[in-house]
Structure 1
């Protein structure tokens, strides 16, 4: 009887040790809002928006010598929308739709990851948008076809060296197929459905600066829009306890020589107290694709944040997108939220949104 008890304790100890070594961190975010959209003469829409709400699982294993194995599985949740329609990125809820990868990490050098993940081009300025992951996101006008998350991706990211870091990704076929080649090492004939992305960042003290470049070949852009194009951007930010201000400039050029878009964004935040802040942004795009006339747009946004705790924030915002007479940009269409406007060409949609963000 005592031998059986000893065996049971030994088995329990083995399982407990294995569980400790294979610890899994569960994390996520619930970001929901009630969005009242005015489509400027069209049918208005009111409803619950889910703004990049997510749940994720991640872990690591110490391999010795400063090297670790890392992995992550992250999925999007369309809170209030069930599975959600597949109209925009914020509605897509498949398992592992967000950053999902496995790789190796060295504390002194950086990491190598394989899987599905945000491009360095996207990450370089995503945190500089004061209204990111809401319907007032500046992606209504910026990053179209390039502010993306890609399949079949290999990424190398350096460690931070005295404030400087860099990241580079190559991504192959976006339908999930394994790379094929008849003419070289790359994905397929004519380099279709592939691209690469690089970014350099400087983050030290109150200053942040970045420059990024990305090239897509008929690949990962939503609805194949701007998908055969090159993009570059530069940005600078300044942040202290009392306030923050950011500026971004971006140019996206068609590879077939049929023009480009040029856009810029300016945003700022003023902290009234440790819990309350006001913020505002302005975004402008000049569309020169196919020499189209009157096809630019401007976006305005103002907002108020109130922190109820370290993990929970209430917010309110108003935003308007002012289209030129031949433009049809939409609020939220290229963002990570489920709410979008559906205004007609030349109209100027606006939105009032009340929301809550809770991180866990």
Structure 2
């Protein structure tokens, strides 16, 4: 009797599960766990804290592909960022706050809709170097990047196939989707990448509408970003450079994420990774932020980080970094998944970190 019930249960499970298995080609659950101990000296004293997401944003994600036939596939990704030190959701508190999209992939490229990264963000990641993760603790770009230009809600993203080494990226976002001011946050982002052996170069453009306040009567203006980057892997060293220009009219007095306002500025990063340094990889980074309206808003970033892999999935890191702020600048040494220890305008920040990254 027992075997009869087992056989019936097996048959029912087969009928229920088989269509899903046949329809879904592959689903992957993945994640990154990053925890660190950081000490930062700022204008208000010294802070030591257990932290999350210093080098790599702590996250869990789900991605899948379904073969639709004829070279066409349905694809999706859902990715949640969280704080490993508290267990809380990171960022804006949304469940899938890092990426959330569904799309189609075929011979003409991939198109996806949801929460997407801009063409600028792809370039930041590709050229702000590191061994355990890119665009992380110690990278100058990570300290100066303006987040509303990197991750875009209510957006559609297209990536072309590589043609003679050239890949094209395009993203359009609908900002606040009619909430007042009506077109605030509307974004168009275009980028191109060229790869030839060890050489890689990118050119990107992004325009984004911003406002002074979220009041219904607040006028909407246009901010424009121009980004160029290049790298070359010599084997014994891989240098890279990024240079970004932002211009808007009128020039806002300060950066305000909720209104997408960003002061006119230029910033650049020059970095290099040196592999096989006592079994690990050394990252060197230098960059500067230049406020166009006044040099009092300028800042410089210095970073040195050593990454050591214990295995393919687990690594240790330690680093030192410094931000030198002019009188009206308040940049800090930022984590990959969020802000670092806050400072006051005109105060320098020096920071030390030691931590561990594990992936699954």
Q: Distance in 2 between matches of 1:68 and 1:217?
A: 34
Q: Identify the residue that residue 259 of structure 2 maps to in structure 1.
A: none
After TM superposition, give the deviation of residue 18 of structure 1 in Å: 3.1
Is the 8 Å Cα contact of residues 76 and 94 (structure 1) preserved in structure 2? Answer: no
Q: Identify the residue that residue 35 of structure 1 maps to in structure 2.
A: 38
Q: Identify the residue that residue 26 of structure 1 maps to in structure 2.
A: 29
More displaced 10-residue stretch of structure 1: 236-245 or 135-144: 135-144
Q: Identify the residue that residue 356 of structure 1 maps to in structure 2.
A: 356
After TM superposition, give the deviation of residue 313 of structure 1 in Å: 1.2
Runs of 5+ in structure 2 lacking a partner? 212-220, 253-262
Is the 8 Å Cα contact of residues 49 and 337 (structure 1) preserved in structure 2? Answer: no
Q: TM-score, normalised by structure 1?
A: 0.84
After TM superposition, give the deviation of residue 229 of structure 1 in Å: 1.6
Matches within 5 A, 1:229-308: 229-256=223-250, 260-272=264-276, 275-288=279-292, 291-308=293-310
Q: Identify the residue that residue 98 of structure 2 maps to in structure 1.
A: 98
Residue 214 in structure 1 maps to residue 206 in structure 2: yes
CA 1:257–1:147: 2 relative to 1, 3 Å: closer
Q: Distance in 1 between matches of 2:63 and 2:142?
A: 31
Q: Distance in 2 between matches of 1:262 and 1:139?
A: 11
Residue 346 in structure 1 maps to residue 350 in structure 2: no
Q: Identify the residue that residue 71 of structure 1 maps to in structure 2.
A: 76
More displaced 10-residue stretch of structure 1: 157-166 or 54-63: 157-166
Q: Identify the residue that residue 194 of structure 2 maps to in structure 1.
A: 202
Q: Distance in 2 between matches of 1:156 and 1:274?
A: 41
Is the 8 Å Cα contact of residues 328 and 344 (structure 1) preserved in structure 2? Answer: yes
160, 165, 171: which one aligns with 1:169: 171
After TM superposition, give the deviation of residue 188 of structure 1 in Å: 7.9
Q: Distance in 2 between matches of 1:136 and 1:93?
A: 25
Q: Distance in 1 between matches of 2:317 and 2:349?
A: 20
After TM superposition, give the deviation of residue 35 of structure 1 in Å: 0.9
CA 1:140–1:5: 2 relative to 1, 3 Å: closer
Q: Distance in 1 between matches of 2:95 and 2:16?
A: 28
Q: Deviations over 1:68-97 (max 9, x none)?
A: 01111110011003326xxxxx54453111
CA 1:4–1:38: 2 relative to 1, 3 Å: closer
Q: Deviations over 1:2-58 (max 9, x none)?
A: 99887655433334423433342100111221111111x413211122111000011
CA 1:359–1:93: 2 relative to 1, 3 Å: farther
Secondary structure, aligned partner of 2:29: strand
Q: TM-score, normalised by structure 2?
A: 0.84
Q: Deviations over 1:303-345 (max 9, x none)?
A: 111111111111111000001123222221xx54345122221
Q: Distance in 2 between matches of 1:4 and 1:264?
A: 68
Is the 8 Å Cα contact of residues 135 and 340 (structure 1) preserved in structure 2? Answer: no
Q: Deviations over 1:87-109 (max 9, x none)?
A: xxx54453111111111111x22
Q: Identify the residue that residue 113 of structure 2 maps to in structure 1.
A: 114
Q: Distance in 2 between matches of 1:47 and 1:359?
A: 23
Q: Identify the residue that residue 153 of structure 2 maps to in structure 1.
A: 151
Q: Identify the residue that residue 217 of structure 2 maps to in structure 1.
A: none
Is the 8 Å Cα contact of residues 125 and 210 (structure 1) preserved in structure 2? Answer: no
Secondary structure, aligned partner of 1:123: helix
After TM superposition, give the deviation of residue 246 of structure 1 in Å: 0.2
Is the 8 Å Cα contact of residues 116 and 153 (structure 2) preserved in structure 1? Answer: yes
Q: Distance in 2 between matches of 1:237 and 1:37?
A: 31
Runs of 5+ in structure 1 lacking a partner? 85-89, 181-186, 220-226
